[in-house]
Each structure stands twice: as structure tokens, then as C-alpha cells.
């Protein structure tokens, strides 16, 4: 079931970009925003040694982190100005080895309640097999997450 959402305020794209830029951990691993729409956000991460584990794969922990971030920003697009979201909990299934050159996490809100927002997130990897040029990205992880509305902490907006 796909739902259409109204953005929380007209400047939601800038709000997401500003929040993303403030997170040192995301810069450290090389993540970037790929698309921002009401209730739907994609985050991309090119492969590098910083995000890999011993077999040349994206680390499962990185996969989870980027998935959680994509879901959280999908939720943030629906918030009024001055309201942030916090991750309350999430669940992730790691479905396949995350072998490839570009990881993309796309979060979609499935319920925006008064205090909690629930999202599902798909994480795909492209460029995994050189012989498979043009092949579609492969689903490597699936998340389901809950975010909580939160007043902005003083001094961080």
C-alpha cells in the first residue's frame, strides 16, 4: 500500500539537507543524500575501505546505519518546522552479501502518527558483478523502523 503524504512544511528539503550536513558520522563514511520527497528519502554510499569488511563487502553495520538514516529523514520530511525525529527502534534483515560499488537506502513512511512515525526501508547494492552491467540493483537488506517526534534541542537548529 502506497500512501501520499503532505510535507510537514515547505522547506522540508532544506531541513533534511541541513540536518544531514551536521552529522559527522555520515560524512566520515561518505554517505550523501540522493533524493528527498515527502515521506520518501534515498541515501547513497559509494564503496570504500572505510565501510567495508574483510571480504570486500559493505559492512552489515554500515548497511543498517544508512538504512536507519534514510528512514529517519523520510520521517523528518513530514514534521512541522522545528521538530526533529529520533530513532526509537528498528529491525533489519540482511538478505544477501552487500557486494558492489554503490549502496542505496530508500526509506518510505507507512504511518505518520501523532507521536510515532513508522517507515520501511529497502537497501540495494548496484555494480556487484562486472559481468552484469545494466543488471538491476540487488536488495541486500530490509528494515522496519519507528521514529519519535522530538522538540529541537536548544542550540542545534
For residues 150, 38, 10, 36, the Cα torsion angle rounded to the nearest 10 degrees is 100
Give me the least distance between CB of 6 and a second copy, in Å please: 17
Binding mask 36-75 toward a second copy (x if CB under 8 A, else -) reads -------------xxxxxxx---xxxx-xxx-xx------
The C-alpha cell at 5 is 503524504
Kindly tell me which of 4 and 10 has the beta carbon lying closer to a second copy: 4
Among 14, 80, 91, 101, binds a second copy (CB under 8 A): 91
End-to-end Cα spacing for the chain: 34
Contact 68, 90 (CB under 8 A): yes
Residue 3: CB atoms within 10 A of its CB come to 10
Does 13 participate in binding a second copy (rule CB under 8 A)?
A: no
3-state helix, strand, coil in the chain (%, to 5): 25, 40, 35
Give me the least distance between CB of 10 and a second copy, in Å please: 23
Q: Summarize as ranges the residues that interact with a second copy (CB under 8 A).
A: 1, 3, 19, 22-25, 28, 49-55, 59-62, 64-66, 68-69, 86-96, 110-111, 113, 115-116, 118, 120, 122, 124, 139, 142-144, 146, 148, 153, 156
Amino acid at each position: 500500500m502506497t500512501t501520499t503524504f503532505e510535507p510537514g512544511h515547505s522547506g522540508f528539503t532544506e531541513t533534511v539537507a541541513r540536518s544531514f550536513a551536521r552529522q559527522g558520522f555520515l560524512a566520515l563514511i561518505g554517505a550523501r543524500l540522493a533524493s528527498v520527497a515527502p515521506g520518501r528519502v534515498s541515501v547513497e554510499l559509494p564503496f570504500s575501505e572505510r565501510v567495508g569488511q574483510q571480504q570486500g563487502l559493505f559492512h552489515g553495520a554500515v548497511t543498517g546505519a544508512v538504512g536507519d538514516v534514510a528512514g529517519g529523514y523520510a520521517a523528518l520530511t513530514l514534521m512541522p518546522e522545528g521538530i526533529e525525529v529520533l530513532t526509537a527502534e528498528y529491525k533489519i534483515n540482511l538478505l544477501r552479501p552487500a557486494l558492489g560499488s554503490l549502496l542505496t537506502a530508500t526509506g518510505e513512511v507507512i504511518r505518520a502518527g501523532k507521536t510515532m512515525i513508522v517507515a520501511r526501508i529497502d537497501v540495494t547494492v548496484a555494480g556487484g558483478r562486472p559481468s552484469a552491467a545494466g543488471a538491476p540493483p540487488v536488495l541486500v537488506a530490509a528494515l522496519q523502523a519507528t521514529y519519535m517526534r522530538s522538540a529541537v534541542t536548544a542550540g542545534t537548529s
